[in-house]
Structures are given as C-alpha cells and as structure tokens.
C-alpha cells in the first residue's frame, strides 16, 4: 500500500514538474499582469515614481478625453464593423470554393493560407511599400495618392491588409466545419429538389453555426486589439485618423511626454469590458437567430 502511494505521489510530482514552466508563464504573464494592470488603473503612475492611489480618477480622465471619444472609440468600432463581416464572408466563400473538387486545390489552400503565417510586421512593411506615393499600386494604376498619409484612405488600407492576412486562417476553420457536415444531408436536399443556394442557406450555414460563432468571436477580439499594423504603417495616422483604443493605450503609456500609465491601464480595463459586452451580445444574436430557424 505504501509503495503504491509513493508511486502515485511520484507520478503527480513528475506531472507538475512538466507543467511547471507553463504554469510559471501563465501566472506571470497572464494572471499577475492582469491583476497588476487592474491595480494600476486605480493609480496615478508615470514609471518614474511609485504608483499613487487615485481611485476612479484615471477612469474619469479616460471618459472625458476628447481623443478617446472622437477618434479612438469610433475608429475601433468602425474597424470592427467593417473588417469582421468582410473577412468572415470572404473566408466562408473561399472555404466553400476549396471544398469543391478542383484541380490543385491543395496548392490554392496553401497560397491563401500563406499570409496568415507571415509576420504581421513583415506584411505591414510590404503594404507600406505597395501603397507608398511611388509604390507599386500607384505605378500600376497611374495614381499619385499618398494612401497612408491621407485621412480618407489610410484606415481603409489597414483594413484591407487585415482582411488579406486573416482570411486564410478563417478559411481553414470554415473548411474543417464544411468537411464535418454529413453528405447525406446534401443528398436528401438534392432529392427534394433544392438548388445550390437553398442548400447553402438551409443546410450549410445552419450546420456551421458553432464554427461561425467561433470565427466571429475570434475576429471581434482580434480586431478590437489591432495595434501592430497601425503602429508600423501609420503611427496613429494623419490627424489621428487611424488611432484605435489599443494604439491610444500605447500612446498614453509610452509615447506622451507625460506618461499616463494609470490612465492607459484604465483604458485597457474598459476595452476588456467592451469586448466582453460585444461578445455576449453577438452570442445572443447568433443563438437567437438559430432558435428562430429551428
């Protein structure tokens, strides 16, 4: 009995030893970081002196800041509401096309997926080169537009790049869902005389509802947190036209002459609450739509 107990203890310790590096990283860079950011959101902190308790002062500053209300918040929601539907629709169409019996479809899947595994910084630099005043895009179409320095075009170039780089990943997720749909459903629909559009609307889309919820959730979270593309391509853009909430957090924390780490932390908490609220509403909408269909 003692030998068996010692063996179980040894196995348990061995297991904990193997997961210890992951636990250290998780608690250090996730749990502790989140908790410390929440604490800093209630303080006044400039990195040079110890944090001073300020209560809700940082939140009050955020909610009365003109840059937050006039640029960062509307730009972020604009980005989400344009990019998420477009990349979802495009990736679903690509997945549906790649699920057909086409020649060299494995090659096409690889080509569509390649931008997703390339560094976002590298892709951003490529787009800066493509849309420069003397860049490839202007030379091909004979234009002289400074795309990334124009308040009317800079944000849309970043949106297009994000759609281009993420559609491949979402395509593979949709493709896995398509391949899990029983072929008997399509055969029954064909016998009943349903055309391809009806089959897609009444069989494919409902069967993909869990995948659709996952894709939209991941896309919403990712688009709300967009930062590196904006940082590399426009640094907030002309007249703050591409400033989003995440870029404003970075600006307050590291770019302003008077560091506002407490205010930046408060905005991080507000962003987290916005993402949670939008995800909850999105889930209710998708589930509600599913219940009415059923």
Q: Where are the beta strands (DSSP E) in the chain?
A: 43-44, 52-53
What tens digit of pLDDT does each residue of 239-292 get?
899 999 999 999 999 887 777 899 999 999 999 999 999 988 888 887 765 544
Q: Cα dist. 253→38, 166, 246, 259 in Å?
A: 14, 28, 11, 5
Query: What pLDDT score does 274 carry?
Result: 94
- At the topology level, CATH places domain 62-293 in MetI-like fold (1.10.3720)
What tens digit of pLDDT does each residue of 88-118 get?
999 998 888 888 777 777 788 788 888 888 8
- pLDDT higher than threshold 70 for residue 84: yes
Q: Cα dist. 274→25, 59, 96, 117, 158 in Å?
A: 26, 14, 32, 28, 22
In terms of Cα–Cα distance, which of 165, 156, 48, 184 is closest to 118?
165
- Are the CB atoms for 223 and 118 separated by under 8 Å? no
- pLDDT higher than threshold 70 for residue 293: no
Q: DSSP per residue over 88-139, as a string?
A: HHHHHHHHHHHTS--TTHHHHHHHHHHHHHS-HHHHHHHHHHHTSTTSHHHH
> Cα separation of 212 and 209, whole Å?
5
Helix (H, G, I), strand (E, B) or coil at 52: strand
- pLDDT higher than threshold 80 for residue 5: no
What tens digit of pLDDT does each residue of 43-65 get?
998 887 888 999 999 999 999 99
Give the range with max mean pLDDT: 144-148, 187-191, 247-251: 247-251
Cβ partners under 8 Å of residue 110, min gap 6 = none
Pairing of strands 43-44, 52-53: antiparallel
Query: What pLDDT score does 1 carry?
Result: 57
What tens digit of pLDDT does each residue of 21-48 get?
998 998 998 899 899 999 999 999 888 7
- Are the CB atoms for 188 and 270 separated by under 8 Å? no
Domain with CATH 1.10.3720.10 in the chain: 62-293
Query: What pLDDT score does 186 carry?
Result: 85
Query: What pLDDT score does 29 carry?
Result: 87
> Cα separation of 279 and 39, whole Å?
25
> Cα separation of 74 and 126, whole Å?
27
Q: In the chain, what percentage of residues exceed pLDDT 90?
A: 46
Give the pLDDT band (50/70/90) at residue 195: confident
- Give the CA angle between residues 6, 10, 12 to the nearest 5°: 115
Mean predicted confidence (pLDDT) in 211-238: 91
Query: What pLDDT score does 288 carry?
Result: 67
Mean predicted confidence (pLDDT) in 157-173: 92
Q: What is the CA radius of gyration of the chain?
A: 24
Mean predicted confidence (pLDDT) in 1-28: 83
What is the biggest distance separating any 2 CA atoms in the chain, rounded to whole angstroms? 84
- Tell me what the pLDDT averaged over the chain comes to: 88
Give the pLDDT band (50/70/90) at residue 4: low
Q: DSSP per residue over 23-44, as a string?
A: HHHHIIIIIHHHHHHHHHTTEE
């Amino acid at each position: 009995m003692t030998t068996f107990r010692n063996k179980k203890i040894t196995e348990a310790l061995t297991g904990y030893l193997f997961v210890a590096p992951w636990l250290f990283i998780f608690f250090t860079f996730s749990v502790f970081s989140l908790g410390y950011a929440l604490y800093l959101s209630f303080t006044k902190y400039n990195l040079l002196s110890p944090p001073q308790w300020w209560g809700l002062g940082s939140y009050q500053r955020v909610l009365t800041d003109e840059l937050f209300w006039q640029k960062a918040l509307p730009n972020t929601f604009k980005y989400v509401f344009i990019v998420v539907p477009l990349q979802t629709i495009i990736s679903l169409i690509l997945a549906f096309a790649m699920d057909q019996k086409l020649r060299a479809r494995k090659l096409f899947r690889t080509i569509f997926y390649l931008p997703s595994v390339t560094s976002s910084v590298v892709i951003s630099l490529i787009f800066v080169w493509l849309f420069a005043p003397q860049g490839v895009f202007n030379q091909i179409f004979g234009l002289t537009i400074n795309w990334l320095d124009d308040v009317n075009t800079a944000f849309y170039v970043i949106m297009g790049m994000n759609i281009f780089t993420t559609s491949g990943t979402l395509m593979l997720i949709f493709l896995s869902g398509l391949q899990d749909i029983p072929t008997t459903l399509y055969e029954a629909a064909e016998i009943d005389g349903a055309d391809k559009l009806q089959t897609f609307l009444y069989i494919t889309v409902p069967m993909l509802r869990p995948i659709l919820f996952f894709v939209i959730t991941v896309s919403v979270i990712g688009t709300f947190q967009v930062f590196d593309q904006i940082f590399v391509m426009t640094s907030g853009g002309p007249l703050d036209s591409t400033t989003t909430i995440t870029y404003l957090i970075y600006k307050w924390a590291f770019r302003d002459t008077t560091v506002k780490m407490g205010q930046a932390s408060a905005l991080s908490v507000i962003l987290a609450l916005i993402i949670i609220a939008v995800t909850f509403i999105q889930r209710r909408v998708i589930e509600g739509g599913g219940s009415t269909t059923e």
